[in-house]
Amino acid sequence: MALANLPHKLLDIIVEYSLPQSFENLATTCKRAYARCTPFIKRHNELRSRFRDFVYYAHARDSLVAASDLIGLIAADPIVARYIRTANLVEDSRFLSHLRVRGEPPKSVPSIEDGGVIVQLFANSMYLRRAQLDWREYYSTFAEDVREMRYSQHGSVFLLTLLDDTKKLTIPSSWNPNAATNQLLDVLVKETTQSSVPSSGLRSVTSFLGSLSRSETENWGLSWASLFLALPHLKSFSGPGSFAVGGTPQSLAFRGSPHIADTLVVAHLGGCCIDDVGITDFLKHAPRLKALRYSHSTQHDYLPPDWDICKFINAVAREAGSHLIELSVKILGLRGSILPGRASTRSFQKLKKFEFPLELVMCNINAAGVTGNIATSLQRLFNGSMDPFVRDMMPNSVTHLSLKSEGIGPHESALDALFRHFRAVRRTQLPNLKEVHIACKQEADNAYKQQCNKIVTECDREGVVVHLQAYEYSGGLNWDG
């Protein structure tokens, strides 16, 4: 074969450039190739073990605690970046206090005048040039952050320009965008979307997790994520603690932005405060989303204390009803109350796994004008049929249902509204239902527990398995399947 006839020096160059993606395949092509690969095997294994799933750490003999440390390694040995498949950068600079306690002197980077490989890395950056940023000014800010032993947004964003082969990315918990870093990140993302650029920073990212500092979120809401959501191969996005509300337009993910999350399949929005306007803006730009997990929280004073969950559900059904397969909506923490309204899930065409709080059912019961004895009133109002509630709450495509509740107050009536005529409903409106998970905590009301046990019996007769969950973390549905 032609490869075997190459000079040793040329073959060695090929071997080194094959690291790490094609190294093992190259080594097995022929005996001569394996012989040239042998000296690299130990280093290949060491780099893969150390950097494939990268996290910051503070060890006595070898500490990597900030973006500057990793940038320095990559500047000295660029192949390091090619090994990083999972970049968990959440702890960036958080271990600096450990170094202070141990009495270690602050790390530093060279001055521009002293030069060196790190300075040259910034000076030669095509991303800084295309962002029309003065690399000396950018580097000086970065160097000052390092010298003062504090988190550097300049360093964290520049590091992202070096991670060509990273597939799973978690940004630092101290992430705090500014004008210069946003400018650089914007250029970086634009480069990834150009087919003419075969390899560029973040182009390979398929999974993204934003772990944000809560102290600054009131300034920019979910809009911080729009650039990352535009990555060309992104499949999974997690944006915990974010907010996007119509009363604060700049908080919306895509308002005024040309970006679109057209490859996004899974979105996890935990501990967020997003209203119907915010979720509409998000879903309009994610046309292929299959799974959405959302939990609502209003722990900060700058967030609206009340939540219109009905408008939220209706917006999800309207914008994603044709393609969403999994939907989980939960209440994590609410300073105010659930606003009155009426929800409908009739627009969902493919939804299979569905989780929602029983407060949603109570909204529809109240919207129907039911008073006094709820069960009796519903019986009279719908002539013995709970079909309107079932149609509004559970699409006929659903196979797995999860109902969340503290089991206190009128929620046993919400269960009764959904399951009173289960035999008829099951056959005419829920032919695909296989499993039901119901929160049934130890401290729940006795009437609620009795209703749960009744549902177990009724569903068992129809071949539907019911799981009563005593704890929030006890099993439940498997999501994103």
Phi-psi map region of 56: left, alpha, beta (phi>0 left; psi -120 to 50 alpha) = beta
Kindly tell me the number of DSSP H helices and DSSP E strands found in the chain: 21, 13
Nearest to 68 by CA among 170, 142, 15, 7: 142
Q: Any idea which residue has 């400018």 for tokens?
A: 183
**What is the rounded end-to-end Cα distance, in angstroms, of the chain?**
45
pLDDT value at position 18? Answer: 55
Own/partner contacts of 22-29, CB < 8 Å, gap of 24 or more, are 29/1, 29/3
Token reading at 400: 């797995």
Q: Please, is 369 exposed, middle or buried when counting C-beta atoms within 10 Å of its C-beta (0-12, 13-18, 19+)? A: exposed
Q: Any idea which residue has 């057209």 for tokens?
A: 262
Cβ within 8 Å of residue 351, ≥6 positions away:
321, 324, 325, 326, 327, 345, 395, 397, 398
Q: Which helix (H) or strand (E) holds 459?
A: helix 446-461
| Strand extents, DSSP E, 390-432 | 400-404
DSSP 253-281: SSTT-----TT--EEEEEEEEE-HHHHHH
69 close to 61: Cβ distance less than 8 angstroms: no
Token reading at 343: 């929800």
CATH number among 3.40.50, 3.30.870, 2.60.40, 1.10.3470, domain 354-481: 3.30.870
Distance CA(206)–CA(231), nearest Å, equals 8
Q: Any idea which residue has 């295309």 for tokens?
A: 130
Peptide bond just before 105 cis, omega within 30 deg: no
Q: Any idea which residue has 């940023």 for tokens?
A: 133
For 78, what's the count of Cα atoms within 13 Å in the CB-facing half-sphere? 8
Q: How confident is the prediction along the chain (481 residues), in pLDDT tens digits per residue?
A: 555 555 555 655 555 555 556 555 555 566 655 556 566 666 767 778 888 999 998 876 678 899 999 999 999 988 888 889 999 999 999 888 776 656 666 678 999 999 999 999 999 999 999 999 999 999 999 999 999 889 999 999 999 999 988 999 999 999 988 999 999 999 999 888 875 555 667 989 999 998 655 544 445 689 889 889 999 999 999 999 889 999 889 899 998 788 889 999 999 999 999 999 999 999 999 999 999 999 999 888 888 999 999 999 999 999 999 999 999 999 998 999 999 999 999 999 999 999 999 999 999 988 877 654 555 555 554 454 445 666 788 899 999 999 999 998 889 989 988 888 888 888 888 999 999 999 999 999 999 999 999 999 999 999 999 999 888 765 667 877 5
Give Cα separations from 249 to 213, 220, 279 (angstroms): 21, 10, 12
312 close to 276: Cβ distance less than 8 angstroms: yes
pLDDT value at position 15? Answer: 54
- Cα-Cα-Cα-Cα dihedral sign, residues 362, 368, 371, 376: negative
Q: Give this prediction's pTM.
A: 0.86
